[in-house]
Structure 1
Amino acid sequence: MFPYDRFVKFEELTTLLRSAVDAHPGLARMASIGSSHEGRSIWCVTLTNYATGEPLSKPAFYVDANIHATELSGSVAALKLIDTVLSGYGKRADLTRLLDSRTLYVIPRVNPDGAEWAMADKPKYIRSSTRPYPYAEDAIEGLEPEDIDGDGRILMMRFRDDNGPWKKHASEPRLMVRRDPVETGGEYYRIVSEGRIKAYDGFNLPVARVKTGLDLNRNFPEEWRPESEQLGAGDFPTSEPEVRACVEFVNKHRNICGGVFFHTWSGVLLRPFGTKADDEMAPEDLWVFQTQGKKGEELTGYPAISVFHEFKYHPKEVITGTQDWLYTELGSYAWVVEIWCPMREAGIKDYKFIDWFRDHPVDDDLKLLKWTDETHKGKGYVDWYPYDHPELGKVELGGWNRFHTFSNPPPHLMEKEVQKFPDWIVFQALMSPKLEHHSTRVTSLGGDLWRIDFGVHNTGYLPTDVSKLTRKKKYVRGVVAEITLPDGAALVEGKARIESGQLEGRNNHHTLVSFWPGANATEDRLRFSWIVRAPAGAAVTVEARHDRAGTVTQRISLN
């Protein structure tokens, strides 16, 4: 249904999504949830079996991707999810059950503007949005990354400098390694990004201030911090149209029970918290995260880890973003998937995630280089070649093509990588609570009096309100039941609308050897009762609904 060996620009993405939706009119619809800074639509594809109910009448799962400009394989993963679910409906029991009983909201590209820059013939790699921030003027001095030779890549530049921190590897001269701390007398280099240098004075080589410094993933409301505390944060929470569109969408769709956000790279599954330790999370919620993470490790091969404990950019700093926002503010379980780990592909084991970027053995670089030579056919690591730089004079361009080796899987490995995730997302979506009909009993009390007993139960793994955090914040109300009577009938006992509490799921059951028995063996059930006056044969409608667990409707004949 979609191409998996290349990235697609906005217009083609739009066409592909429309074609997929048109091919499955009963299972998919497409709408814009808002517009980007440059005015492009942010498309959302809603997947459910419309014959079994409208999307909001079912528990839902949310997926988005490509909030960061160069992380284009996230969009590919989102397309693979859409493809897998639509093509598998009616063929796979779990996918059929998913669309019959649940809803998926999939936003393949949150940041269409930044993605267009990354895919341009002469690419520009930025963190996220194209809106100027924090200042609108262009830099007047310093190095700006740029494809200076017009080959469609932004590589590295190296040039000789007796005090440079880099040198050629003794046995593999293509590879640049750190100069030893006390080493002197060798051939040394400085290495910077490929690009032009504004106002170069022949001596200083500062990096130009980034004009597009926004990080949309730091613009969410949860524990938002200003630019002085977190780079790219934006002017205020949801100041950016892309983020505001996502926040408003989720808040209008209270049926969302969980979410996955596709990023790159590291090859890990990241869960909350980003700002505090696990012991500050409700244990019951942590246990659910651990259950989801264990299944994720089994299905994807990626380790499931805590952002705070194992994925900090700096040991003294914390990270906020979408996964914390969806859980901490809304109580829905949320994960960030960091797609792709070239280290693992090259046979490097026991690497320390973020710490690996700061420092790692040279042997790791040699393994990566060997693996890249074998799999990327010269496109992953580019042999250094001479270039006459307009400011620096003779330099060499080359080194890692990070966009296609690290930031994203290479095209020929893309589909293999992104097909790891749909089954895990389906697993999480099917964990959601599900309000279903249990039983209905009509009892004649004589004359025109009737007693109606309407029972519902939660058949999902999670409680109707999903998490302990939701219950603490009272983000969703309990099960609501209503009775609708025909003309001439009257309600004698009971309320026309009854608001009840939450229904438990199966997630907190102890083992059979536990000595802590449950307080209620049927805590997943509720029964509502009314007495009505109506003639025999009259039709009465009863309904139970929950914002997250769905809606159950029964039409009853009084006889």
Structure 2
Amino acid sequence: MRDLEGAQMWWCYRGSSILRSSIVGVTMVFLMVVSVDAQRFEEFVDFEPTEEQFDFDRWPYRLPEAVNARLQELAEQYPEIVRAHHIGNSREGRKLLMMEITNFETGDGESKPGLWIEAGVHPNETPGPVYLEYFIERTLAMYGVDPAVRRILDTRTFYVVTDLNPDSRQLALTSHPAWPGYKEEEQPGADLNGDGYITQMRWKENPAEEEYQYLPEGRLVDEDWHMDPLGYVWRSSSDTGWEIKDRERDWTGRREQPDYNRNFGAEWVSEDPGAGEFPFSLPEIYAVAKEMTDRKNIFFMYDIHAGGVGREWMIRPLSNQPYQAMHHEDNDFYKRIEAAWSVLSPGDQTFSDYYTPAGTGATIGGLPPDWGYLHQGIYGFGGEVGGSGIDYDGSGEVTPEELERWHVEEMDGQFAEPWMPYDHPQLGAIEIGGYRVSPTGPFPPSIGDIMRIRTDRSFRYLMYVASLAPEVRIIDLMSTENADGTFTVNANVGNDGWISTYVTQRALEISGSSNVAGPGASLNIRARDFPAMVDISVDGGEIVEGEVPQNIGHLVGKFTYIRQWADEGQEVPSKMATWVVRPDGSGAVSVEVRVSAHKAGNDVQTLKLR
């Protein structure tokens, strides 16, 4: 098993400089966690998928219909550990499937702590759904082979939506030059140099500058429409517009497509580009939010994006508020798992959009992880994944220059071409080359050896987070016979997990009120305080004292306990439930005691009184 020790210092010096000061204060606490309870990564059995299971070199990727067909096959192949749920349809009528993955023989999915994982928010971020296809295939295939996977699926549940925006994915994939039937004449721009593809143009407005200006080949600088890096089209002819900054050009126009990353209810702002008519107005977002809200066992969500080239990074809540707006205990948890991410992904960062150089925090609203934290009271990340190219210089990241070199030298120009000089009638001396583009922007698809490394890394990290879930346990079940012939039964209940049963302090603050109009308003805020309950049943007697069931409140996890009482050296806090049982007669008497909490699973023990 692999220790996390030292992760904190690595993260501090390799991560974002903005966060260094905020994390140093928990360094010793983090190391104490490691030494006190040996919190470590699991060792997993290597996964060598068949071509049917997963092909690291597949491009183009499978279309949504083919992916859904494969998911249905897996549900039929592994009925004991996965079920495919049809949770809704896209705007164009495509099915949204949610895969529920757990060992159903050890209990229903909702009886165990749950993790929600989704991808496909933005049309140009095609690798994200493929990462989740890998996660599903590996988890299912290795359940009977890998003891670590078995332990997690026996006690945890994963809810996986591989693609919550299948309509845009269909367009993005079928519009790429690698797709069979691609027609250059149907794409924006023009093939100026006659090589059969639309690539890119680049030039420097000032030869002394290091930065190039880019446009798709054949596009004009002053055209009345523009495509942003996410693949959304903006037009300047609209009376209503939002400003967008793209490289060195200010563009004002109306974006035609909704942004699935702005339609969740938390901090929703109608003026944000693509925010939608009201929160959850998009059918795909409504379906996802409803499933998450109805399933009270979910304690973590992971929303996968594909930021492009170079490093992968994690975006944590809150996106439009400073860290001080979050309770210190919740911030402390993020610092710990950020450190863990730095071990698995050396050099990669974790940060909040609030602290981006552009200062966009004041305008970002409606993001999934923010909604998960503010309205569901759970932890979550937005992961920006990549997965192609070669780190030629060993710097820890794949730069755009290295990615282009990989395309040309290693992939035989399949996805990009060398830059060649060209005399443009409007721009003058430019170069044409780089990535072959589609209407949804340049594609360096996630394929090859780096994708193999990064999908494995993502799998291990999600399994690590799953291992942190709260776990209620009956530590001891005892009885004492009283002078009047009754028995006093005591159940000492504790939390074996790293996370507290309430998960976040935010969950304890949510009031359950909502003031946002629209059909999706009922999903905005519901009370999320789910305490631990202890129940008892008697065979051969009856309860004469003690509530049934008993609400014992919450049980703190190891993270919280060590953070607050590290110098006391006591056991993890526990609580006692007590009843008095009166036998029916002179026969045998036994009790069964069950403790449960929505986000912390359950435990059952029996005791013979006589």
* TM-score normalized by the length of structure 1: 0.78
Structure 2: which 5+ residue stretches go unaligned?
1-52, 194-199, 226-233, 236-253, 511-526
Does the CA contact (< 8 Å) of 2:116 and 2:298 recur in 1?
yes
Q: 1:505 aligns with which of 546, 557, 560?
A: 557
The answer (yes or no) to whether the contact 2:114–2:298 under 8 Å persists in 1 is: yes
- Map Cα deviations across residues 130-152 of structure 1 (whole Å, 9 max, x no partner): xxxxxxxxxxxxxxxxx76259x
Per-residue deviation, 1:105: 1.0
C-alpha contact 1:455 1:525 (8 A) present in aligned 2: yes
- Asked if 1:323 is matched to 2:369, the reply is yes
Which residue does 1:200 correspond to in 2?
Answer: none
Structure-2 change in CA distance of 1:191 and 1:303 (3 Å): closer
Aligned partner letter, 2:391: E
Query: How many residue pairs get matched?
Result: 492
Contact 1:275 1:318 (8 Å CA) reproduced: yes
Tell me by how many angstroms 1:503 deviates.
0.5
Change in Cα spacing, 1:15 to 1:24, as seen in structure 2 (3 Å) is same
The letter for the 1-side match of 2:374 is T
- In structure 2, relative to structure 1, the CA distance for the partners of 1:434 and 1:254 (3 Å cut) is same
Give the match for residue 193 of structure 1: 216
Which aligned pairs between 1:329-368 and structure 2 lie closer than 5 A?
329-340=375-386, 345=391, 347=393, 366-368=401-403
Q: 2:140 aligns with which of 86, 109, 116?
A: 86
Paired letter, 1:206: D
Shift of residue 259 of structure 1? Answer: 1.7
> Which of 193, 202, 206 pairs up with 1:176?
202
Q: Report the counterpart of residue 370 of structure 1 in structure 2.
A: 405
- Contact 1:154 1:401 survives alignment (8 Å): no
Kindly tell me: are residues 540 and 156 of structure 1, through their superposed partners in 2, closer, same or farther at Cα, counting changes over 3 Å? farther
Q: Which residue of 1 aligns with 2:125?
A: 71
Rounded Cα–Cα distance in structure 2 between residues aligned with 1:459 and 1:420: 26
Give distance in 1, aligned partners of 2:135 and 2:556.
29
Work out the CA distance in 2 between the residues paired with 1:485 and 1:217. 51
**Alpha-carbon distance in 2 for matches of 1:339, 1:384:** 27
Q: Which moved more, 1:436-445 or 1:532-541?
A: 532-541
Q: CA separation of 1:481/1:365 partners in 2, compared to 1, >3 Å: closer, same or farther?
A: closer
Instruction: Return the letter of the residue paired with 2:202.
Output: M
Which residue of the partner structure matches residue 128 of structure 1? none
Query: 2:605 maps to which residue?
Result: 554
Where 1:118 maps in the other structure, the secondary structure is: helix
**Paired residue for 1:243?**
285
Q: Tell whether the 8 Å contact from 1:442 to 1:450 is kept in structure 2 after alignment.
A: yes
Distance change >3 Å, CA 39–CA 280, structure 1 → 2:
same
Is residue 2:257 matched to residue 1:213?
yes
Equivalences for residues 8-407 of structure 1 within 5 A: 8-120=62-174, 149=184, 176-180=202-206, 192-193=215-216, 205-207=223-225, 209=235, 212-226=256-270, 228=271, 230-266=272-308, 267-301=312-346, 303-311=348-356, 314=359, 317-320=362-365, 321-340=367-386, 345=391, 347=393, 366-382=401-417, 398-401=433-436
Q: Return the offset for 1:218.
A: 0.4
Structure 1 runs not aligned, ≥5 long? 126-146, 160-173, 184-188, 198-202, 354-363
Question: What is the identity percentage for the equivalent residue pairs of Structure 1 and Structure 2?
Answer: 24
Distance 1:367 1:516, change over 3 A: closer
Amino acid at match of 1:271: R
Aligned position for 2:579:
530
**2:553 counterpart SS class:** coil
The alpha carbon displacement at 1:383 in A equals: 5.2
User: Are the aligned partners of 1:331 and 1:469 in contact in 2 as well (CA < 8 Å)?
Assistant: yes
CA distance in 2, matches of 1:407, 1:385: 19
Measure how far apart 1:378 and its partner are.
Answer: 1.0
Please name the residue that 1:144 is paired with: none
Tell me if structure 1 keeps the 8 A contact 2:372–2:378.
yes
Shift of 1:157: 6.4
Task: Tell me how far 1:396 sits from its aligned partner.
Answer: 9.9
**404-413 vs 533-542, greater mean Cα deviation:** 404-413
**Contact 1:70/1:407 (<8 A) preserved:** no
Q: Distance in 1 between matches of 2:208 and 2:490?
A: 84
Match of 1:484 in 2: 537
Q: Cα distance, 1:23 vs. partner?
A: 2.2
- What one-letter code is carried by the residue in structure 2 that aligns with 1:286? N
Q: Residues 365, 531 of structure 1: CA spacing in aligned structure 2 closer, same or farther, 3 A cutoff? A: closer
Partner of 1:130: none
Shift of residue 38, structure 1, vs aligned partner: 1.3
1:268-292 per-residue CA deviation (whole Å, 9 max, x = no partner) reads 1111121122222222222211111
CA distance in 2, matches of 1:538, 1:406: 69
SS at match of 2:478: strand
Q: Which residue of 2 aligns with 1:409?
A: 446
Partner SS state of residue 222, structure 1: coil
CA 1:206 to 1:506, structure 2 compared with 1: closer, same or farther past 3 Å?
A: same
CA contact (8 A) 1:308 1:318 kept: no
> Can you list the C-alpha shifts for 1:30-66, whole angstroms capped at 9, x where unaligned?
1112111112221111111111111111111111111
Deviation at residue 102 of structure 1 after TM alignment: 1.0
Q: How far has the Cα of 1:101 moved from its partner?
A: 1.0
User: What amino acid is aligned across from residue 301 of structure 1 in structure 2?
Assistant: P
